[in-house]
Amino acid sequence: MKKESSNIINLGCRLNIFEGEVIKSHIKNNKFKNYIIINSCAVTEEAEKKVNYEIRKSKRNFPNKKIVVTGCAAQINPEKYMNLVEVDYVIGNKEKLLSTTWTNLEKNESTQVKDIFNENNISNNIIQKFEGKSRAYVEIQQGCDHRCTFCIIPFGRGNNRSVPVGVISERIKTLVANGYNEVVLTGVDITDYGKDLPGNPNLFQLVKRILNLIPELKQLRLSSLDCAEITNDFWPLLEDRRLMPHFHLSLQSGNDLILKRMKRRHNHKHVINFCKKVRLIRKDVVFGADIIAGFPTETEKMFQDTIKIIKDCNLTHLHIFPYSVRKNTPAALMPQVPKNIIKKRASILRDIGNEQMQKYLKSQIGNSAMMLVEQVKENFTYGKSQHFTKIKIKKNIKEGKIVKCMITNVSQDVLCGYAV
């Protein structure tokens, strides 16, 4: 996901969107009109290519502006970005959230990146609004204590640190008071939430408290979940209609040996049983998943296991990532799958994902949906349903509102209908 607003370009995850707003709150000063801040991502090789592209494009379009690179790519490899002629400053993930970093930017060294693993604290910033966004994002934790063999992100984010329950509640109350009807809980590994806090509250206890304390909140959405960390506190939450029935799973593969080599904590049975149990309680639920195509040592049989689990669990919203080598990760040392095979498998998975999506969309014709309005353009209103599916209706409705729609047909990957 990418967002360009004023002089901040957010690349990558929802957490970067939240942090982009924190940065924006620190740079309400005219001198920053001459800066472009690129809040980078490094999750894949392709993500880093996008960072380089945005740097070159920004300098080409605004040759007199200074370029600041921050985010995960800057944290992991600050020297690389400081050596680029277009870049003036490189700021780490901790430093970007401090007001003093921006106040003293021109006085300090051009590279400000400290060891993220020495960071034990987490920002308590309260965000008032998200410019250009109909839904709000609330950070509940940072970092990750796990070391999946393909993942470089802990080196960009550090270890797990959780935001206290009270701070999260205040963040959401502020956003609801400012007119937001939907809030997304985000972080690096949200199902690891609370293990470092007094009393060890878990993610689902946090969700219960939010729903109980803030009845004015109309919709609460969770970002990526890990099936291995689902507790018994989760299941009763499914009865609350304010918890959105769209769960995105950090799946990665459907083959147990590959999952073991990835150092994941779940196996394929965990995923199947989780999806089956959720559907017994919440029949309208839709699942998405992150999947890596062509992980080292993946055979054709292993790849077919991934296809099978997509169909067995009826996964709809698929995010397909062709495996890319991340330097200094254990997977980089494993026997690699040829790039042409990785590309082919990723293409096959995307085609299957498109088929799954079309099947789901057609099943929604004649049903009603609750749409959060995101954009009004040329007498049409666009938004997303409770299942995070695109909807289009012919009526002007204010952005941020929730409207009930009747679905009459499908156009490509968009549900079409009318307000009721």
User: Who's near 388: CB < 8 A, 6+ residues apart?
Assistant: 221, 244, 246, 286, 288, 317
The CATH number covering residue 47 comes to 3.40.50.12160
Q: What is the pLDDT of residue 6?
A: 57
Residues 280 and 390 in one domain: no
Residues 243 and 357 in one domain: yes
Residues 345 and 375 in one domain: no
Angle between helices 300-312 and 268-281 (to 10 degrees): 10
- Domain boundary among the residues 321, 339, 363 is at 363
Whether 354 is in a domain gets the answer yes
The CATH number covering residue 322 comes to 3.80.30.20
- Domain boundary among the residues 114, 148, 172 is at 114
* Beta carbons of 91 and 101 less than 8 angstroms apart: yes
**What distance, in Å, lies between the first and last C-alpha atoms of the chain?**
31
The CATH number covering residue 373 comes to 2.40.50.140
Longest dimension (CA), the chain: 62
Whether 345 is in a domain gets the answer yes
Whether 306 is in a domain gets the answer yes
How many residues would you count in the chain?
420
- Domain boundary among the residues 363, 380, 403 is at 363
Number of folded domains in the chain? 3
Q: What is the pLDDT of residue 1?
A: 38
Q: What is the pLDDT of residue 332?
A: 96
Residues 359 and 402 in one domain: no
Whether 131 is in a domain gets the answer no
Residues 176 and 311 in one domain: yes
Residues 71 and 162 in one domain: no
Dist. CA 390–CA 260, nearest whole Å: 35
Residue 293, classed as helix, strand or coil, is strand
Per the rule left: phi > 0, alpha: psi between -120 and 50, beta: everything else, 106 is alpha
**Residue 320, strand partner residues:** 291
Q: What is the pLDDT of residue 30?
A: 67
Whether 374 is in a domain gets the answer yes
Dist. CA 410–CA 372, nearest whole Å: 18
Whether 128 is in a domain gets the answer no
Q: What is the pLDDT of residue 120?
A: 85
Reading the block at residue 213, the tokens are 């304390």
What confidence tens digit (pLDDT) does each residue in 46-91 have?
999 999 999 999 999 999 999 999 999 999 999 999 999 999 999 9
Residues 259 and 306 in one domain: yes
| Phi, psi (rounded to 5 degrees) for 71 | 90, -170
Q: What is the pLDDT of residue 355?
A: 96
Residues 184 and 99 in one domain: no
Residues 197 and 108 in one domain: no
List the domain range (segments joined by +) for residue 94: 2-114
Q: What is the DSSP letter of 321?
A: E
| Phi, psi (rounded to 5 degrees) for 325 | -65, 130
Q: What is the DSSP letter of 110?
A: S
Residues 294 and 388 in one domain: no
Residues 347 and 379 in one domain: no
Residues 147 and 97 in one domain: no
Whether 127 is in a domain gets the answer no
Q: What is the pLDDT of residue 5?
A: 45
Q: Give the alpha-carbon dihedral of 375, 210, 11, 159, to 10 degrees.
A: 180
Q: What is the pLDDT of residue 282?
A: 96
Whether 95 is in a domain gets the answer yes
- pTM (two decimals): 0.91
Block mean pLDDT (10 aa), the chain, length 420: 63 90 84 90 92 95 94 94 95 92 87 90 84 92 94 94 95 96 96 95 97 97 93 96 97 98 96 97 96 98 98 96 93 97 98 96 96 93 97 92 96 94
